[in-house]
Amino acid sequence: MSDNKEQNSIPTSKVERSAKFIKTGVKVGGNYIKHYSKKLFNPDLDRTELNEDNAADIYQSLSELKGSALKVAQMLSMDKNLLPQAYVDKFTQSQYNAPPLSGPLIVQTFKKYFGKSPEQIYDKFNIRSSNAASIGQVHEAELNGKKLAVKIQYPGVGDSISSDLKLVKPFAFRLLGMSEKELDVYMREVEERLLEETDYELEVRRSIEFSNACANLNNVVFPTYYPELSGKRIITMDWLEGKHLREFLATNPSQQLRDKIGQALWDFYNFQQHELRAVHADPHPGNFMITADEKLGVIDFGCIKEMPDDFYYPFFSLTSTNLFENKEETIKAFRKLEMILPNDNAEQIEFYYTIYKQMISLFAKPYIADTFDFGRTEFFDELFGFGEKISKMPEFKQARGVKHFIYVNRTNFGLYNILHELKAKVKTDTYKPHVVEHFEVDAV
């Protein structure tokens, strides 16, 4: 349960939400003035304090607004090489908690969608939330002797996605240093996923579909979902007992247990990617529980990314070492993925071919051996170091790569990060990519 005070209201109209962003913008502007005033007297002053002040002000504002604005903060905190450390530290809080809604707002939501209060639906219902995150909060309930988790979406979240993302854009622009075009592609893809994520009826259907499809995986468990007790803004499922990753690691688990949970996580993601061609695209630690019987519990299927063949084959074929031995076919795959563009000259083609080959070879290291030790810090130092180097190159200020990279990269790097936190050694040959070694290049 969060220690934050309860919220009695959430700004839901565009005017109210816009006013909140303007107020935050003024605060951030004030922080810059304060920083540069201090710098006059201390020229060696770095940006640490400025970043901490800005991160705190932006996070507080996003927490009160909830929804897509807070979700963007949550997503950015997973891209550790995109943001200054102060932002990563602050925004990481959104992976676990946010200020919860007050009791009257909860009852109001139930009456709006079910025409009944929660007490009329369940035998027991705890009006205080157990967990409050970016799009909704979870309450404990009981019906017919069964313990349930009831997820309630915050008022106004689904209706304010498009306008919120327009408002968050200037902050993202300043923080990420992306080009306007690249930021537009990023925001459009985020908007598409968020619109799906606020559709709780879609989430229930997908949760049932994916948990059934993944039912045979070793050491992975899912709650049962109850469509008859769910609706547009409310989801009812079994309560899954367990520890979140931080709590689990605090118990100092054995290497054997870390490896077991890591293997379950690897299999869960790679089975979906390579057999279902659609993947749970929100791999932050708050979406997983480690149960008392040492299984990985998956508790949220709100964000699913489907992978079309024209993305899947060229991308995952590049994780096969054979394709990289054929420069011509590799360049064709890069063209299909829009990593090399039609009007690139010979010098640019050579530059991007070299850099992307290095990048994907690095990303693909876990796929190349039969087992991989994610506890190895040198792999992650290399990975983040390379990402940092690229982010500073003028050649990457222009948007490159199809939109599918945004969530697929986030999914895989999120997976790598959790496995690194677990320091898990896993068998990586359990669900292998399906590959092709020849590509047709579309006529330009």
Q: How confident is the model at residue 94, as a pLDDT?
A: 43
Q: Could you report the per-residue pLDDT of 105-116, keeping only the tens digit for each?
A: 889 889 999 999
pLDDT greater than 80 at residue 11: no
Q: What is d(CA 246, CA 226) in angstroms, rounded to the nearest whole number?
A: 29
Count other C-beta atoms under 10 Å from residue 23's C-beta. 12
The DSSP string of 217-286 is: STTEE---B-GGG--SSEEEEE----B-HHHHHHT---HHHHHHHHHHHHHHHHHIIIIISEEE----GG
Q: Provide the mean pLDDT of the chain.
A: 79
Q: How confident is the model at residue 55, as a pLDDT?
A: 58
Q: Give 153's pLDDT tier (boundaries 50, 70, 90).
A: confident
Q: How confident is the model at residue 104, as a pLDDT?
A: 85
323 close to 330: Cβ distance less than 8 angstroms: yes
Any idea which of 258-272, 356-370, 381-395 has the lowest mean pLDDT?
A: 381-395
- Burial (CB count within 10 angstroms: exposed 0-12, middle 13-18, buried 19+), residue 108: middle
Q: How confident is the model at residue 318, as a pLDDT?
A: 86
More confident residue, 400 or 424: 424
Q: Which helix (H) or strand (E) holds 351?
A: helix 346-363
CATH number, span 102-153+199-239: 3.30.200
- Residues whose CB falls within 8 Å of the CB of residue 310, separated by 6 or more in sequence, listed in order: 336
Q: How confident is the model at residue 334, as a pLDDT?
A: 93
Mean predicted confidence (pLDDT) in 100-125? 90
> Rounded to 10 degrees, what is the CA torsion of 396, 400, 403, 405?
-70
More confident residue, 188 or 399: 188
The domain locations on the chain are: 14-96+159-192, 102-153+199-239, 241-444
Q: Give 33's pLDDT tier (boundaries 50, 70, 90).
A: low
Q: Could you report the per-residue pLDDT of 211-238, keeping only the tens digit for each?
A: 999 999 999 999 999 999 999 889 999 9
Any idea which of 263-272, 304-313, 402-411 has the lowest mean pLDDT?
A: 402-411
Q: What is d(CA 201, CA 230) in angstroms, rounded to the nearest whole number?
A: 7
pLDDT greater than 50 at residue 4: no
More confident residue, 71 or 312: 312
Mean predicted confidence (pLDDT) in 3-19? 53
Beta bridge partners of 428: none
Percent of the chain with pLDDT over 70: 69
